[in-house]
Structure 1
Amino acid sequence: MLYLFITVMIGFAYLLTRLYFLKKEIKSAARQLQQLNQNNTAKKLDISYHDRDFEELAKEINNQIDLTKQAEAVKRSSENELKQAISHISHDIRTPMTSILGYIQSLESDELSREVKKKYIETIKNSAGRLKVLLEDFFELSIIEQSDYPLKMERVQLNDLVMEVLFGFYQEFNEKNIEPQIQISENDVLIMADPSAVKRVVENLVINAIRYSTGEVTINLRRINSVVQLKISNSVDQLSKQEVNHLFDRFYKADQTRTEGGTGLGLPIAKSLMEKMNGMIYAELKDSHLNMICEWKSK
Structure 2
Amino acid sequence: MRTLYVRIVLTFMAIAFVSGIVGVLLTSLYYEDQMKSINERKILDMGQSISRLYEKEPAINLDAYLQGIAELGFQIYAVDDRGEGKAYGAPFKHGKLDNATIQAVLGGEIYHGMKEENARLKLVSFFENSIRNTVGIPLSTQEGSVALFVRPDLEKQIGEIRVIVAVLLGFTFVTSLVLIVVLTRYIVKPLNVLKQATQRIVQGKFDVDLESSRGRKDEIGELARHFAHMARSVGQLDRMRQDFVANVSHEFQSPLTSIQGFARTMLDKEATPEQSEQYLEIIERESKRLSALSKQLLKLAALEQEDQKLQYVAFRLDEQIREILITLEWQWAEKKLNLELDLPEVTVSADSNLLHEVWLNLLANAIHYTESGGTIGVSIREEERSLVVEISDTGIGIEESELSQVFERFHKADKARNRASSGSGLGLSIVSIIVSLHGGTVEARSKVGKGSTFAVRLPR
Q: Normalising by structure 1, what TM-score? A: 0.84
Q: What code does the residue aligned with 2:225 have?
A: D
Corresponding residue number in structure 2 for 1:44 = 213
Corresponding residue number in structure 1 for 2:192 = 34
Deviation at 1:289, TM superposition (A): 2.5
Deviation at 1:248, TM superposition (A): 0.5
Q: How does 1:1-299 map to 2 (within 5 A)?
A: 16=173, 21=179, 24-39=182-197, 42=210, 43-44=212-213, 59-110=218-269, 112-186=271-345, 189-214=346-371, 215-237=374-396, 239-256=398-415, 257-258=418-419, 260-286=421-447, 288-298=450-460
Say which SS state the counterpart of residue 455 (structure 2) adopts: strand
Q: Which has the higher contact order (CA 8 A, sep 6+)?
A: 1
Deviation at 1:262, TM superposition (A): 1.4
**Unpaired segments ≥5 residues, structure 2:** 1-156, 198-207
> Contact conserved, 2:190 with 2:220, CA < 8 A, in 1?
no
> Contact conserved, 1:32 with 1:45, CA < 8 A, in 2?
no
**Unpaired segments ≥5 residues, structure 1:** 48-57
> Contact conserved, 1:233 with 1:290, CA < 8 A, in 2?
yes
Deviation at 1:61, TM superposition (A): 2.0
Counterparts of 1:218 and 1:238, CA distance in 2? 15
Say if 1:169 and 1:216 are closer, same or farther in 2 by CA, change over 3 A.
same
> Contact conserved, 1:191 with 1:296, CA < 8 A, in 2?
no
Q: What code does the residue aligned with 1:117 have?
A: S
> Contact conserved, 1:191 with 1:297, CA < 8 A, in 2?
no
Counterparts of 1:206 and 1:246, CA distance in 2? 19
Say if 1:61 and 1:166 are closer, same or farther in 2 by CA, change over 3 A.
same
List 4+ stretches of structure 1 deviating above 3 A: 8-24, 109-112
Q: What code does the residue aligned with 1:71 have?
A: M
Counterparts of 2:244 and 2:261, CA distance in 1? 26
> Contact conserved, 2:369 with 2:396, CA < 8 A, in 1?
no
> Contact conserved, 1:235 with 1:290, CA < 8 A, in 2?
yes
Deviation at 1:97, TM superposition (A): 0.7
Deviation at 1:206, TM superposition (A): 0.6
Q: What code does the residue aligned with 2:263 have?
A: I
Deviation at 1:135, TM superposition (A): 1.4
Write out per-residue CA displacement over residues 119-160 of structure 1, whole angstroms, 9 at most, x where no aligned residue. Answer: 111111111111111111112111211111231123343222
Write out per-residue CA displacement over residues 79-110 of structure 1, whole angstroms, 9 at most, x where no aligned residue. Answer: 10111111111111111111111111111244
Deviation at 1:26, TM superposition (A): 2.3
Say if 1:46 and 1:171 are closer, same or farther in 2 by CA, change over 3 A.
closer
Deviation at 1:292, TM superposition (A): 0.7
Q: Please identify, of 88-97 and 238-247, the stretch whose mean Cα deviation from structure 2 is larger.
A: 238-247
Deviation at 1:231, TM superposition (A): 0.6
Q: What code does the residue aligned with 1:27 have?
A: R
Q: Normalising by structure 2, what TM-score? A: 0.56
Counterparts of 1:247 and 1:231, CA distance in 2? 16
Deviation at 1:31, TM superposition (A): 2.5
Deviation at 1:117, TM superposition (A): 1.6
Say if 1:14 and 1:158 are closer, same or farther in 2 by CA, change over 3 A.
farther
- Which protein shows a greater Rg? 2
Counterparts of 1:242 and 1:227, CA distance in 2? 28
